[in-house]
A = this chain, B = another copy of it.
Amino acid sequence: MAKITFLPQNAEVSVREGISVLQAAAAAGISIDGNCAGKKTCGKCKVKIKQGDLSYCVDPNEKLSAVDRAAGYRLACCHRVSDGMVIEIPEAETTADRKKKLIRLPEGFQKNTAVQKICIQVRRTTLEEQESMDHSILKLLSLGKLAFRKNVLQKLPHILKEQEKITLTVLGREIIDVECGDRVDENYGVAVDIGTTTVLVMLWNLSTGQMAAIRGITNPQGSYGADVISRISYIDGDEEKLTVLKNAISEGINNCIQEFEKERKISHRNIYNFTVVGNTTMSHIFMGVDPSQLAKIPFAPVFTGSGDVAAAELGLMCHENASVYRAANIAGHVGSDITAGILTTDIVESKRKQLFIDIGTNGELVISGNGRTLTCSTAAGPAFEGSSIRQGMRAAKGAIERVDINEKDVEISVIGGCKPIGICGSGIIDAVGELVRKKIVNENGRIRTAGELKECGMSDRIADRVRQDESGKKYFVLYFDEDGKEDVSITQKDIREVQLAKGAIYAGITIMMNEIGISADELERISIAGAFGSYIRKQSAIHVGLLPEIDESRIISLGNSAGIGAAMLLLSTDYRAEADRAAEMIEHIELANRPEFQKQYMASMKFK
């Protein structure tokens, strides 16, 4: 056995000597980013071996730069553990940190929670007016007929013997708990947005309607694949593996709840209600439902409808009678995160022509107009998350997030204000947008040569950033280090990736607009979801051709709409009903099934 330690968690685990770092991390319940689920193809699961054998490697050809290797970095999928090894996992929390900031309930939001805690004073019954305790309580509550859960009936005689003032917890049409005295304020709910990459867990006080705490954690399923397809292929219909991924999420949520307990001095027994949103695969796995068919034609989900589940059945830390509301999915690739997200807009009920767009590995689109609301999902690929980009990275410290090309040179902004080490999604769009705007990249996506650029009057400082590698492939240098060495660049292949991604999304937009018969300039509003929407520059998104060319003022950023929607669903049963109506009303279009898709896709790849 080998005893190894993971940093920064400082988690010790004893595992079999010689298994991979990735396997050891999974055994320790720690997730390491990676897109290929240990298939050794993505080269993203970089860790730093702080102590231990640096040569104990499965695959000497691992996809790592010599610089990284020299600095002690190794790929977790390729490196073997040995006794005493100390492994540092690079920080990847910034995405989560950013997401946190983006939770704001809409103005004028009215809560109407499924849970109510009500304090009443129960008078002792007499022989003259013999009355059962349940009747006395129902009369005082005057909420009509409510069911009493078994535990409440069992506690009642003891509690009412002690005190006449009691607090009842009402969930839906059931009384799920009774406590001595006034405990109205100890009333919590948890809203969860299970993203493929990040899980956002929010604690809300259901009596006050205020957020009490929030945590964003890296989705612990990440150890089994970075995207839904690789997780589905990891599960491969195996019930045990499904359970592993299912438990990874519930344990992740429980860890957050334990931290809330410490941080806010609350008890998980006062958590009575959950809402959970996520893409359809996350939602299936969370429920322990095999997601296999979501990866196969015709991509039909097992379930889309919303529903309540006993939280105990899902192993969540909370009151014994707490329930979990899972929002409705819309289709195989349009999940309840979208249902929740559009709650922050008026896209379903208003008559305005508008577009909702949520970009990740898939781009989910919702468009409304002429009395219809359509949705589709486009396989944008991971370019906008930085994954298929050579120097792509998450929106973490050291990522270039903004690029300006002025008359003379290139200016960049880096998250954390430090030396850049890569480029994140919004940075890529910004960079490509600027390259297109400045015609450094032509309509077809080809990087012009330095010579061509200078002919057109481009400054040398800019034009000379176009270089070629030994095989003649061009790239554009965004940042040179102190020694003038090229440090962060956008390659021709990166631009192709962006073209594929934005082409897929724009093709989806075009097909949906055609379907309901509106044109781009008729769009009264474009709402962009997520952290991505909050950080991209609208102009760049238009220049890249990700969004139709409309006035910037009509483009708004929603913040973390899925998270906000999850909170709204937690705090208001009215919104649950609205979400159900929306999910029911929205028509789903399967792009793969559209004969025009391929043509439209090719056309949309161009830069205009």
CA of A104 to CA of B221, assembled, Å:
59
Question: Is A308 touching B157 in the complex (CB atoms < 8 A)?
Answer: no
Report the minimal beta-carbon distance from A222 to chain B, rounded to whole angstroms: 24
Q: Indicate whether A485 reaches chain B with its CB closer than 8 angstroms.
A: no
Q: Name A153's contact: one of B289, B293, B590 (CB within 8 Å).
A: B289
Q: Complex Cα distance A293/B131, Å?
A: 12
Contact A131 B300 (CB under 8 A): yes
Contact with B along A171-190 (1 / 0, CB 8 A): 00000000000000000000
CB distance from A390 to the nearest CB of B (A): 35
| A548 lies within 8 A of chain B by Cβ | no
Provide the residues of chain B in CB contact with A590, threshold 8 Å: 127-128, 130
Answer whether residue A409 sits at the interface, using C-beta atoms and an 8 A cutoff: no
Binds B, one of A107-115, A132-140, A535-543: A132-140
A593–B128 contact, CB under 8 A?
A: yes
Q: How large is the interface on A (under 10, 10 to 19, 20 to 34, 35 or more residues)?
A: 35 or more
Bound-complex Cα distance A313 to B153 (A) = 13
Q: Report yes or no: A127 in contact with B593, Cβ–Cβ below 8 A.
A: yes
Indicate whether A302 sits within 8 Å of B132 (C-beta atoms), given known contacts A150-B309, A293-B157. yes
Most buried by B among A132, A145, A156, A593: A132
Asked if residues B305 and A148 are in contact (CB atoms below 8 Å), the reply is yes
In the bound complex, residues from chain B placing their C-beta under 8 Å from that of A209 are none
Contact yes or no, B157 A304, CB < 8 A: no
Chain B residues near A128 (CB-CB < 8 A): 590, 593
Residues from chain B with a CB closer than 8 A to the CB of A130 are: 298-300, 331-332, 588, 590
Any B CB within 8 A of the CB of A229: no
A234 within 8 A of B: no
* Contact partners of A150 in chain B: CB under 8 A: 287-288, 309, 313-314
**Cβ–Cβ contact A148 & B298, under 8 A:** no
Chain B residues contacting A471 (CB-CB under 8 Å) are none
Q: How far is the CB of A153 from chain B (nearest CB, A)?
A: 5
- Check if A147 sits within 8 Å of B307, measured CB to CB: yes
Contacts of A158 in B (CB 8 A): 290
Q: A303 at interface (Cβ–Cβ under 8 A)?
A: yes
Are the C-beta atoms of A132 and B329 separated by less than 8 Å? yes
* CB pair A290 B157 closer than 8 Å: yes
Of B138, B156, B305, B332, which one neighbours A134 at CB under 8 angstroms? B305
Chain A 266-292 near chain B by CB (<8 Å), digits 1 or 0: 000000000000000000000111101
Decide if A138 touches B300 in the complex (CB within 8 Å): no
A129 to B, closest residue via Cβ: B298
| Pair B305/A126 contact, Cβ less than 8 Å | no
- Contact across chains for A133 and B301 when beta carbons are under 8 A apart: yes
Q: Which of the residues B133, B309, B592 comes within 8 Å of A302, measured between beta carbons? A: B133
Chain A 486-504, CB within 8 Å of chain B: the 1/0 string? Answer: 0000000000000000000
Q: Is the CB of B298 within 8 A of A153?
A: no
Chain B positions within 8 Å of A304 at CB level: 132, 134-135
A514, CB-defined interface residue at 8 Å: no
17 A-B pairs whose Cβ atoms sit less than 8 Å apart in the complex: A130-B298, A130-B299, A130-B588, A131-B300, A132-B302, A132-B331, A133-B302, A133-B303, A135-B304, A135-B305, A148-B305, A153-B287, A156-B289, A156-B303, A157-B289, A157-B292, A157-B293
